[in-house]
Amino acid sequence: MQRKISQAALVSLIAAMLLSLAGVVAAHDDDTALTGTVISVNRDLNYISVRDDVTGKNFKIDTRGMNDRRSIDVWNLRAGDRVSATGAWSNNETFRADRVMAPAPRALNRIANGLTGTVESVNRDLNYITVRDQATGQSVKVDVRKMDTRRSVNVWQLRNGDSVTVNGKWTNNKHGNFRADFVNFGNYAPMTSGYSSPNVIIGTVESTSRDLNYFTVRDNATGQPVKVDVRDMDTRRSVNVWNLRTGDRITVNGSWADRDRFKAEMVGFGF
């Protein structure tokens, strides 16, 4: 009898360990992981602000439902630290974390395993786009069924010849398809802090004025506020500027209309 009880206890223990291990693996492999750089920590309001690796946008990570035992001590984090959070989106600005940890291997792999190329075709019926990989010159079928649409461009508005960057992973099939997590337009400006040229501004959003069709950005290079006129902006290739918030880091391509006003052609998130 004692032996049977011991065996039952051992089986229960092994099952518990396997479930625990599965939970760890799932947490690290979660496709919804948000990976980025810590901007600030607010213990009083139970959140940390992180700059997303993919979009360059700042998001709040709500830690109130976080599993403290399986997470790092978020209150010891400092600006510049790298983290991953698993959980779910509460809204367009807040990620509700169930775990916060060092950058998840799969999330980092997803960022590293990207391809950049030129759109060749779009097939909405079968949920894929075809991209010619600039590194190999080969056409790649990109499966967008599980793409995070909130953090990607609208792929059904892409046109042949558009330059895009796709983050995700290769599927294990004979056709060598690529499964997209995120699809964005290829970078069109250097992302170096402080970079400036007659046609590019990189800086931080200070305010927006939808009624007057402009927003104000503090130029990294000069430290001066600049009024950005968006009336002639290419909205298809730009972020929705009316969703910009104070503190967002952005890159603006365009030209100077006068000394204090910059006419935007494209607006994207900076890094």
Cα 54–23–152 angle (5° rounding)? 20
* Res 189: pLDDT: 41
* Res 91: pLDDT: 82
Least confident of 18-22, 57-61, 68-72, 209-213: 18-22
Inside any domain, residue 191? no
CATH number (domain holding residue 137):
2.40.50.320
Tell me how many domains the chain contains. Answer: 3
Determine contact, residues 40/48, Cβ cutoff 8 Å. yes
pTM listed for this prediction: 0.44
Inside any domain, residue 108? no
Q: Assign 54 a pLDDT band (cuts: 50, 70, 90).
A: low
**Residues 12 and 91 placed together within one structural domain of the fold:** yes
Q: Give 17-48 pLDDT, tens digit per residue.
A: 444 433 333 333 344 578 888 889 999 999 99
Determine contact, residues 100/72, Cβ cutoff 8 Å. yes
Q: Give 165-195 pLDDT, tens digit per residue.
A: 888 888 865 556 899 988 888 754 433 333 4
Q: Give 95-116 pLDDT, tens digit per residue.
A: 999 999 887 655 555 555 678 8
Instruction: Outline where DSSP puts E strands in the chain.
Output: 34-42, 47-52, 58-62, 82-89, 94-101, 114-123, 128-133, 139-143, 163-170, 178-185, 196-197, 200-209, 214-219, 225-229, 249-258, 261-269
Distance CA 104, CA 106 (A): 6
- Supply the DSSP string of 77-128, one letter for each residue: --TT-EEEEEEEESSSSEEEEEEEESPPHHHHHHHHSEEEEEEEEEETTTTE
Q: Which of 103, 133, 154 is the last residue of a domain?
A: 103
Q: Which of 165, 185, 205 is the last residue of a domain?
A: 185
Between the CA of residue 152 and those of 156, 164, 208, what are the distances in Å?
Answer: 11, 11, 23
Q: Give 210-264 pLDDT, tens digit per residue.
A: 999 999 998 887 778 999 999 999 887 787 888 888 888 888 888 888 777 999 9
**Residues 35 and 93 placed together within one structural domain of the fold:** yes
* Res 37: pLDDT: 85
**Residues 7 and 56 placed together within one structural domain of the fold:** yes
Distance CA 232, CA 254 (A): 10
Q: Give 122-139 pLDDT, tens digit per residue.
A: 999 999 999 988 767 788
The residues, any chain, with a CB within 8 Å of residue 194's CB and separated by 6 or more, are 202, 220, 221
**Residues 99 and 10 placed together within one structural domain of the fold:** yes
Query: What is the domain range of residue 241?
Result: 196-269
* Res 182: pLDDT: 83
